[in-house]
Amino acid sequence: MDKPSIVPDKLKNPINFKILILIGLAGIGIQFSLLNLSEEDSGNLALSISLSSTLAVAITSFYISKRYALTKVFGIAYLGYGIGYACYFLGELLYYIFSFYLGIDPYPSVADVFYFLLYPFSLTYLILNIRFFQPNITKKTFVLLAIIPIVFVSVYSFEALAELEEPNFDFFYGMIFVSAATTTLSFSILGVTIFKKSILGISWLVLVIGIFINAIADTWYYFLEIFGFYYDAHPVTVLWHVASFIMVYALYSHRKML
């Protein structure tokens, strides 16, 4: 009887770090372009890149979900992640339609519902994988997970109340998104510490770093919105694009390992 093949502790690293460097350079190029275009053109460029990159993340996630369909965890995790980015894409599309075709202020609007749905689906992906690779989470870890959202929400509350002068709709609306973004940030940090030890090694780590960068950008954006400092050519816009590019590449590398 043949002996079963031995599964290696780590699979061959499929990540080409030159591509990650190119992604970084692409981000610099996009930032330079945004700063040197008119306000309208920079907005159109930023939105077109966002639509294409978020759709690419969704499609790639669905493809990986199909490849993992027979597994108990990963198929569901990647399906949820794909749905999250499909919702984000729809949010961007609705934002574009409201702003440029209907002349309606997209804040607040149904587009925000689709934007927000990225968070629970991203958290689903992270939690399913974290529980699979490290099922026993200590109480100390849970405390550390709670610290980041508490600190950021506290700072946001202080800054927002100082600017808005009262806890109005904008205050509570922003707090909902800050809470979700920083919770995702917290779990992504935990994921970085866990997934680097997994059989998928650096490939999984790169994907979670993409999630981490996106959560950082989201949190930064909501703080900018308090004072009305956000504009399409702001560096936070490029962080969103770079995060999506990294995720697409990380997901592509997952495909090569299956």
As a whole number, mean pLDDT of residues 20-41 equals 95
**87 within 8 A of 118, measured Cβ to Cβ:** yes
Does residue 242 belong to any structural domain of this protein?
Answer: yes
Does residue 144 belong to any structural domain of this protein?
Answer: yes
Neighbours of 211 (CB within 10 A): 25
Does residue 1 belong to any structural domain of this protein?
Answer: no
- The whole-angstrom separation of Cα 190 and Cα 134 is 10
Q: Is the pLDDT of residue 55 over 80?
A: yes
Question: pLDDT for 193-232, tens place per residue?
Answer: 887 666 556 778 899 999 999 999 999 999 998 888 999 9
When mean pLDDT is compared over 14-18, 138-142, 155-159, the highest value belongs to 155-159
Cα three-residue angle 48-54-56, rounded to 5 degrees: 100
As a whole number, mean pLDDT of residues 82-97 equals 95
Question: pLDDT for 229-258, tens place per residue?
Answer: 999 999 999 999 999 999 999 998 877 665
pLDDT at 117: 97
Does residue 22 belong to any structural domain of this protein?
Answer: no
Q: Helix (H, G, I), strand (E, B), or coil: what is residue 7?
A: coil
**209 within 8 A of 239, measured Cβ to Cβ:** no
Does residue 16 belong to any structural domain of this protein?
Answer: no
Q: Is the pLDDT of residue 124 over 80?
A: yes
What's the total number of domains in the chain? Answer: 1
Q: What share of the chain in percent tops pLDDT 70?
A: 91
Higher pLDDT, 139 or 58: 58
Of the pLDDT bands very low, low, confident and very high (cuts 50, 70, 90), residue 103 is: confident
- The whole-angstrom separation of Cα 162 and Cα 159 is 5
Q: Is 256 exposed, middle or buried (0-12, 13-18, 19+ CB in 10 A)?
A: exposed
Domain that holds residue 249: 33-257
As a whole number, mean pLDDT of residues 71-77 equals 85
pLDDT at 7: 37
Higher pLDDT, 35 or 73: 35
Cα three-residue angle 77-11-192, rounded to 5 degrees: 50
Does residue 124 belong to any structural domain of this protein?
Answer: yes
Does residue 15 belong to any structural domain of this protein?
Answer: no
Neighbours of 133 (CB within 10 A): 16
